[in-house]
Structure 1
Amino acid sequence: MEGPRNRNAYSQSRTNDGEGKPTEAEIRQKPWKYVGYDGYSKFIASDSDFFILRRFNTLNIRIALALQDDVSYLEEELTALDQKYSMKNHKDVNNGTFRDEMKDREAIVQQITRKLTIYNEFVLQQAKLHQLNPAPKRIVQSLKIWHYNHDHKAIAEEEQRYLTHDDLICLVPRDKTPLRRLLDKSHWLRTLAVWENKHIEVPEYDKQQISYYSDKRMDRFTSAILLIIGVVMLITPIWILEALNGIRYKLAVITTYIFVFLLILSLAMYTKPFEALGATAA
């Protein structure tokens, strides 16, 4: 999405296209009525990168600790009952059966079952939640720009504040090569007309501020660049070696190209260290 433009571009004299349809001037005046969460949700849904929410790190940790303590307390209660029914001076109790269980211990086990189920589900949710990537700053900035373009009035001010927190995460993370991430960081490169996607329908009130760009085109471009670099790195040293006579010069060329090839694989492509080494060795 592009940065904020001159919002005076809206035509103040535009007439309604149909009965009850607001003018752009009316939308500018009352975005909370004519845009609201319907428009905001459609904007976020237009690109999966925009689907970012808070992780609530502190609150989740606090809830996890509270659940843990609940289970620990019940565990202590169960241990106390086990010790009580195992004492020599206590009446004989069969501690080796569930079918003839003591009522108080059975009640504690049932409580533990319910509480432990909640605890386990919550812990597993947190494990998955912490695997999600932090939201890139440019994505957060794009959402802030959307609010700016609507004078921060389309959504209630206090409900926009989630974008100011540092625990934002991407709900639909996508693996991108370092070269593609570099392309995303450059506003000039990212907003070139060649990437523009005109197939996404933009609401009338957003057409002056919003432009969408095709991820597929960008991915294809970066893939083509990497392919060309790879071919050059493989073919060029062959011709250079053919032109050289000294063994030391040939070894120097081979060493240089191996090092550069490994560097490109590590920095420009989404590869793990052992994968880069394997490809270089091959």
Structure 2
Amino acid sequence: MSSFSILRATASFLAYPILRSRLPATSNTGLPRDEESQVGSHVPKQIEDYPRGYPRMAALQSSDPTFTMFRRFALLHVRTLLLAQDEICYLEEQLHDIDEKERTQLYLSSRVYDENSERQTVIREIKTKLREYDDDLDRFFKQYAYHEPTPRSLQSFRGWMNFTKPLIEPEAKFIQSTDFVSPPHKVEEGYLEELVEILARKSGIDDGLLKTERERRQSSDPDLHFYSIRRRRVVARIILTTVACSTLLIPTAVLFIVPNRGARLGVISIFTVLFGSIVALITQARRHDIFAATSAFAAVMVVFVSNIP
């Protein structure tokens, strides 16, 4: 090894600690520790930490599915679809007229030998218009898979908008519309979950019953409430299970007490109507499901009565 190579290697070895001491310290994320602490310290923790305007409004609507709603613009969608439909109808008439006026049978009987440039231009335009029309029609129909926000959710969002006023008045007029849509629920939710929220809030137990630490930290506004979806569903299922058991056990006990057969039939009729009403009101069961469940309940009660001496 030459003396020059040895000197260069020695200089690099001695310079490494000096360069290392001048480099900023880094963490496991690859960022300098000072920058990493600055990044973490500037992340907003609550909705009110975002600047008032579109940033705070976006924070609210992304924080909970209750506030995630946007306009459907159904009228404008239908209007543009109608105009596109008329354009295609006009092109359809044009193509029909061109075919009627065609004097060369070969042009009508062959795509390869068709030399009518006017017809080819109209067909290309029809293909373009149909592709746009089909895409718009498909997107519009997909919107009906979305859910409409509940009146209570829409009222809460409007109340927050009117109180906070994040937008200037011309840009906040959309909140008075009625064609809002929300994302579909991942699991079944009915009126029972909403009733749980209302009763818990009025009784003052919503903070301990329906909120976790995450929901409590989401906002410092005392009028803005966020509830744990999991806790709300658990409470609703407990109530639903209790009601379902009660609708079976209570009439069973009453039927044991009532000695008259006619009175027993009256008890069965009353509790059957009550059971069907509960299924229809606090669940999202479809019509045939309600009919099947009510019929099964009545059949169980009748069989039970027939076995009572």
TM-score range, shorter chain: 0.7 to 0.9
- Percent of residue pairs identical: 21
1:161 and 1:221, CA in 2 relative to 1: closer, same or farther beyond 3 A?
Answer: same
Q: TM-score, normalised by structure 2?
A: 0.69
Q: 1:176 aligns with which of 189, 193, 196?
A: 189
Is it true that 1:63 corresponds to 2:76 in the alignment? no
Unaligned runs of 5+ in 2: 1-37, 43-47, 297-309
Contact 1:48 1:172 in 2 (8 A): no
CA contact (8 A) 1:49 1:172 kept: no
Structure-2 separation of matches of 1:190 and 1:103: 77
- Aligned equivalents of 1:190 and 1:170: distance in 2? 28
Offset of residue 84 of structure 1: 1.1
Is 250-259 or 46-55 further displaced after alignment?
250-259
- The one-letter amino acid of 2:169's match is E
CA distance in 1 between partners of 2:158 and 2:97 (Å): 56
**What are the superposed Cα offsets for residues 166-214 of structure 1, whole Å, 9 maximum, x if unpaired?**
22222345752232233456662698222123214746xx414433211
**Distance in 1 (alpha carbons) for counterparts of 2:99 and 2:198:** 62
Asked if structure 1 preserves the Cα contact closer than 8 Å seen for 2:146 and 2:182, the reply is: yes
CA distance in structure 2 between the partners assigned to 1:241 and 1:273 by the alignment: 29
TM-score where L is the length of structure 1: 0.75
Whether 1:77 and 2:94 are equivalent positions in the alignment is yes
Trace 1:153-232 onto structure 2 (pairs within 5 A).
154-173=166-185, 175-184=188-197, 188=202, 192-193=206-207, 194-200=209-215, 202=217, 206-209=219-222, 210-232=224-246
The 2-side partners of 1:214 and 1:128 are apart by: 29
User: Retained in 1: the 8 A contact 2:71–2:180?
Assistant: yes
Distance, in Å, in 2 between the alignment partners of 1:84 and 1:61 is: 35
1:96 partnered with 2:113: no
Residue range with higher mean Cα deviation, 64-73 or 271-280: 271-280
Pairing partner for 2:266 from 246, 252, 260: 252
SS at match of 2:149: coil
Between the two proteins, the alignment pairs up a number of residues equal to 249
Q: Which residue of 1 aligns with 2:7?
A: none
Partners of 2:281 and 2:52 in 1: how far apart?
Answer: 43
Matched ranges for 1:24-35 at <5 A: 34-35=51-52
Bigger mean CA deviation after superposition, 135-144 or 253-262: 135-144
1:112 to 117, 121, 126: 126
Task: Quote the Cα distance in structure 2 between the aligned partners of 1:43 and 1:252.
Answer: 52
Which of 147, 161, 168 in structure 2 is aligned with 1:133? 147
Letter paired with 1:198? E
Greater relative CO, 1 or 2 (CA 8 Å, sep 6+): 1
Q: Which amino acid aligns with 1:162?
A: F
